[in-house]
């Protein structure tokens, strides 16, 4: 009986991943349709997922680096994980050229009635237009490399509380990325966690765009 339940849980998790990936693809396609036509051509959207199981006891930077010879055209990024402890935790995606987006933060207002922390922000003005082919799931094109330890964390704002527990497919400002801003060979992820609180990163899912 336990084996059957385990198989059902694995199938359910796989279905949620596919469903979310399709949603991200649709958002990218919509952005391309309504974007400013600066580059005309065909574009192929690829979906990549990486299991990390990375446990952080201290704030730290990591780098997403292209594992090929070509720059990466990053169009979305989501992170799933778990918060263990009573303190704050937050994650930022940085293009190292002056643009920094919030991916996740485990705080919410004391008077909030929502049980989950969610957020979606859309960046307009993508510079690729034309015909876009259906998305396909591909092998990872970014390697995660360890960076420096950070002597900082985000203080809890007045009127807010920190939420402990799992978060799935978080992408407060990174659900849809401006193609020009996140086009390159390296991007930075800053993970902030308050002392006494652990930040566990289970998986990242991201989409890339390729001209063909």
DSSP states of 23-59: HHHHHHHHHHHTS--SSEEEEEEEEEEEEEEEEESS-
Q: Residue 180 — pLDDT band, cuts 50, 70, 90?
A: confident
Instruction: Please write the tens of the pLDDT for every residue from 185-198.
Output: 999 999 999 999 99
| pTM for the model | 0.75
Instruction: Please write the tens of the pLDDT for every residue from 64-104.
Output: 999 998 899 999 999 999 999 999 999 999 999 999 999 99
Residue ranges per structural domain of the chain = 2-211
pLDDT > 90: percent of the chain? 60
Round to whole Å and give the CA distance between 73 and 35.
16
Answer yes or no: are the C-beta atoms of 181 and 75 closer than 8 Å: no
Answer yes or no: are the C-beta atoms of 209 and 71 closer than 8 Å: no
């Amino acid at each position: 009986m336990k084996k059957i339940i385990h198989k059902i849980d694995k199938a359910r998790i796989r279905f949620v991943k596919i469903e979310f990936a399709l949603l991200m693809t649709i958002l990218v396609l919509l952005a391309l349709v309504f974007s400013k036509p600066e580059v005309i051509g065909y574009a192929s959207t690829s979906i990549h997922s990486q299991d990390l199981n990375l446990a952080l006891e201290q704030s730290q930077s990591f780098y997403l680096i292209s594992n090929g010879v070509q720059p990466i055209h990053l169009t979305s990024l989501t992170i799933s994980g778990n918060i263990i402890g009573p303190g704050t935790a937050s994650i930022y995606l940085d293009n190292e050229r002056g643009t920094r987006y919030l991916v996740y933060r485990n705080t919410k207002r004391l008077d909030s009635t929502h049980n989950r922390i969610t957020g979606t922000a859309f960046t307009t003005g993508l510079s690729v237009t034309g015909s876009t082919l259906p998305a396909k799931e591909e092998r990872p094109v970014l390697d995660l490399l360890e960076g420096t330890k950070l002597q900082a964390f985000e203080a809890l704002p007045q009127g807010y509380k920190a939420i402990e527990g799992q978060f799935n497919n978080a992408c407060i400002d990174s659900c849809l990325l401006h193609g020009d801003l996140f086009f390159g060979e390296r991007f930075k992820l800053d993970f902030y966690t308050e002392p006494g609180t652990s930040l566990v990163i289970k998986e990242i899912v991201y989409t890339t765009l390729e001209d063909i």
